[in-house]
Amino acid sequence: MRISLNNIERSGVSMRHENGLNTAAVLHGNFQRENAPSRPYKLIHISDPHLSRQYYREHIKSLKLLLRSILDAGCDHLVITGDIVSTADPDDYYLARELFASYGLLHSGKLTVVPGNHDIFGGPHRAVEVLSFPQHIRSVDYYRRMELFKEAFAECFDGAEGLIPGRQFPFVKKAGPFEILGLNSIAPWSLWDNPLGSNGVLDDEQFSALENLGTEKNPEAVRVVALHHHFNNLHDDAVQNSLWHKIESRTMRMKKRRKTIRLLGALKVSLVLHGHIHRNEIYSRNNLTFACGAGAVCDDPNRFLKYNEILHADSDTRISMVTLAYPYQVSSVGVSQHRFRSVRSIPQFATGGAG
């Protein structure tokens, strides 16, 4: 796998910037968009829009503008990796459905979704809720909330092949040249393992189903994983010794991370799309490329609308982070501080063209 870095900023006209940091990677071959003989298939990735009529009306406006920009630029398939809503309120699910339907996205051929922890457990959104949330989360019916997620976006699962009878996840879905593996990394509540509902893990049944999947089913497809939780470390030099950082580093973990990465490598996964940490970035772990899309509309220090763009043409695949010229609207209520991370820079290699 050869990796190169670049950045794309869009304000009507595309501009390319070499030497961008953690923004793009060539996953297969020397993809050169300008010289490609056929139109690339375009897969778009965003995450964590945190829609809420009660708390985050600004996110609704920002997501509408982002989706309009994505569709105007061309999009064959959109992947959203969780935290679509922020409170797990059914009314906000209806809001999300209406919004996606209004842009012609509410069907399996155009949209893939997986759940985030806020989609299932909600979360504290004001200071007064922080102390009461640990008690509230105990009363959440995890399995009913998972059903609500499935019902809210039922059209998006049409044609997806479930790998466990009677369960929605994991599933396999074909999207052009891509084979999307949709995983559920949201763990049920546990006093010791998941006290705030924000830790992630793939349970044993999902592991077994993925191990049985193998690599022979669609050998020509580019295999992409979609799940919510991150694989990079929570870290920030300014606050690494703070009590808040220690709390979040213990309650926002992807458990069995090394085991999961080994499994994804064995499955010949080309790209892992996720959210949870509210910054868009592309990074590498154990020769796998990961892309976080959770800074699309909120909390990223770069307060502009953005998305990850994966292009495939003639057996070559490239991922880039696209930043728009539109700042997102900042809510007066801060979403949970999903922003501590440490990402190793991906080395730059010559690719034969700017792409």
* Residue 182: CATH number of its domain: 3.60.21.10
198-253 pLDDT, tens per residue?
A: 899 999 999 999 999 987 777 889 999 999 999 987 655 444 455 555 666 666 78
**Residue 246 pLDDT:** 61
Residues of the chain with pLDDT under 50: 1-6, 11-22, 30-36, 237-240, 336-355
pTM of the model: 0.85
Any domain includes 354? no
Any domain includes 211? yes
**Residue 14 pLDDT:** 32
**Residue 333 pLDDT:** 57
4-36 pLDDT, tens per residue?
A: 334 555 543 332 322 233 455 666 554 444 444
Instruction: Write out the residue range of the structural domain in which residue 198 sits.
Output: 6-327
**Residue 37 pLDDT:** 53
What CA–CA distance (Å, rounded) separates 204 from 197?
18
Any domain includes 40? yes
Which two three-digit tokens encode residue 187?
Answer: 């763990």
Any domain includes 332? no
Any domain includes 264? yes
What CA–CA distance (Å, rounded) separates 327 from 120?
29
* Residue appearing with tokens 């961008």: 20
Phi and psi torsions of 306, nearest 5°: -155, 160
Number of domains the chain contains: 1
Any domain includes 56? yes
**Residue 247 pLDDT:** 60
Any domain includes 353? no
Any domain includes 341? no
* Residue appearing with tokens 């010794």: 241
Whether the Cβ atoms of residue 269 and residue 280 lie closer than 8 Å to each other: no
